[in-house]
Amino acid sequence: NRALASRRLGIADPLAAAASETGLNGRILIIEDRPRVIERLESALSAFHVVETEPDPQQALLRAVEGEFDSVLVSLDLQGFDGLRLCSQLRSLERTRNVSVLMMGEAEDRTRILRGLEIGAHDFLIRPIDRNELLARVRTQVRRKRFTEKLRDSVQTSMEMAVMDQLTGLHNRRYMDTRMAALFDESALRARSLALLVLDIDHFKSVNDSYGHDAGDEVLREFADRVRACTRGIDLVARMGGEEIVVVLPDTALDAAYAVAERIRERVVSEPFGIQGATRTIPVTVSIGVSSRRAGDASPAEIMKRADDALYLAKANGRNRVIA
Ligand code: GH3
Ligand code: MG
Ligand code: MG
Ligand code: MG
């Protein structure tokens, strides 16, 4: 169910992503200007990784920004250039912030290597560099980089999930409540209009009763898609629970909001809902209450109350209708 919801939201399932095996073939950038050292590093690393080399520090920084590398090996002994500065630039640029930085230096460089670790370099290699140690440390850094990426992706996924309704992919009530408060204040401050639609599917209980709960869920998803298709990018569409959807329309006056509601109502009633694997289609209608901010309103709750009252009237007057 969680995986389904994630797919619906167009994001990778965090659990599945974490379970998949970490690929350890990395993209490595070597920043080094001594040909013999370059040759040795390349011949060791290229058996396991995709390796690029750049002797010029400025050029190297550009390549690091553009190249999506897992790990960058930085020589601290570059001709006429401070490798530590390169490390700190790599750590501060947005595009290279998560790249693993491995310093290469002489044993006498201890102090500078310590400085590098403080700046944020991840590890170091002391010359002469042992082949197996090189491979082991690079592998560790590639693994670290991949893990960081997965962690970041799943944190982002969780943050997205926290404000989304998993069944429909619309925003959820929590998000709606927060955003509505902000939109209300904004519209009041700028003396702009703000309209609200409250939509509720008619006799939805009988959809569940006649076709089953799964079919009911499919109807809800299709309903959400049709509502979304009738709204603009700046409109806020949220599932408030059950079969009730709220649409907030910034910069929209009552009559324009009524027109949007009428368009939604028509789009729902005009074509019965198809259900996967079922031969029959399901006729669906929706009732909609419309309201907008009035000068004296103290909070969004007052707009919400008028929309709810209008919805109640729409139901009482026979359903499949819009009342403002
Ligand atoms: P009305 O025209 O007055 O709105 O009638 P109704 O049957 O739509 O209204 P009511 O509020 O009585 O019923 C809403 C139903 O929605 C009850 C519940 O079983 C169903 N429901 C709520 N959430 C879900 C859901 O996530 N999936 C499905 N399939 N059904 C749900
Ligand atoms: Mg209903
Ligand atoms: Mg209801
Ligand atoms: Mg309500």
Report CA(246)–ligand 4 centroid distance (Å): 9
pLDDT in tens, 246-278: 999 999 999 999 999 999 999 999 999 998 877
Contact between residue 168 and residue 239 where contact means Cβ atoms under 8 Å apart: yes
Task: Inform me whether the pLDDT recorded for 10 exceeds 60.
Answer: no
Instruction: For the full predicted model, state whether its pTM sits above 0.80.
Output: no
Find out whether the beta carbon of 243 lies less than 6 Å from any atom of ligand 1: yes
Task: Inform me whether the pLDDT recorded for 4 exceeds 80.
Answer: no
Task: Inform me whether the pLDDT recorded for 20 exceeds 90.
Answer: no
Active site amino acids? 243
| Phi and psi, residue 257, nearest 5° | -65, -40
Find out whether the beta carbon of 321 lies less than 6 Å from any atom of ligand 1: no
Specify the residue with its C-alpha closest to ligand 1, atom 27.
217
Q: State both tokens at 263.
A: 């368009």
| Phi and psi, residue 250, nearest 5° | -65, 150
ipTM (interface predicted TM): 0.95
CB atoms < 10 A from the CB of 235, how many?
Answer: 18
Output DSSP code: residue 164: B
CB atoms < 10 A from the CB of 201, how many?
Answer: 21
Location of structure tokens 């008619």: 202
Find out whether the beta carbon of 42 lies less than 6 Å from any atom of ligand 1: no
Given ligand 1 and candidates 199, 205, 287, 311, which is best to mutate, with the most ligand atoms within 8 Å of its CB? Answer: 205
pLDDT in tens, 135-168: 999 999 999 999 999 999 999 989 988 999 999 9
Q: Which helix (H) or strand (E) holds 151?
A: helix 131-162
Mean pLDDT of the chain: 92
Q: What is the pLDDT of residue 275?
A: 85
Amino acid at 194: L
Q: State both tokens at 101.
A: 């930085």
Higher per-residue pLDDT: 182 or 17 = 182
Give me the sign of the Cα torsion angle 167, 168, 169, 173. Answer: negative
